[in-house]
Structure 1
């Protein structure tokens, strides 16, 4: 529900794992595990995002609406 509530009309959102964990009062590992489970069941697609300097940014999530 968290990602669904934050997704735009196309089902895209990009909160950081740390942000999700903080707002839901969960550990980062619990959030990562939940994202993996949602990917495996086809409810979510995750895409890595990168900064211009080559550093990793937050993931882009595509939620099945």
Structure 2
């Protein structure tokens, strides 16, 4: 079976599936990536709110973990996303 098989058969809304695939496409070999919400929204042609809801869906499902990143001056930067390998069974 392919990597996304459990994603296709999940109860996740299509917005979450699209965002997961986007993040998977940009993740490094450890499953980490850090695109900005605005970048995800622009490239998937979704609203920022829809992307935020999709990320919340993915976190709730256990497929994604996010961590806030900070700049040296103390300001917020983009989130760091960790993709969690879905269970195959």
TM norm. shorter chain > 0.5: yes
Cα RMSD, aligned residues only: 0.5
Structure 1 or 2: larger strand share?
1
1:11 aligns with 2:11: no
| Greater relative CO (CA pairs within 8 A, separation 6+) | 1
Shift of 1:64: 1.6
With structure 2 as the length reference, what TM-score do the two structures score?
0.72
With structure 1 as the length reference, what TM-score do the two structures score?
0.98
Task: Give matches, 1:1-65, under 5 Å.
Answer: 1-65=21-85
Unaligned runs of 5+ in 1: none
Q: Provide runs of 4+ in structure 1 moved above 2 Å.
A: none
Shift of 1:11: 0.2
What's the counterpart of residue 4 of structure 2?
Answer: none
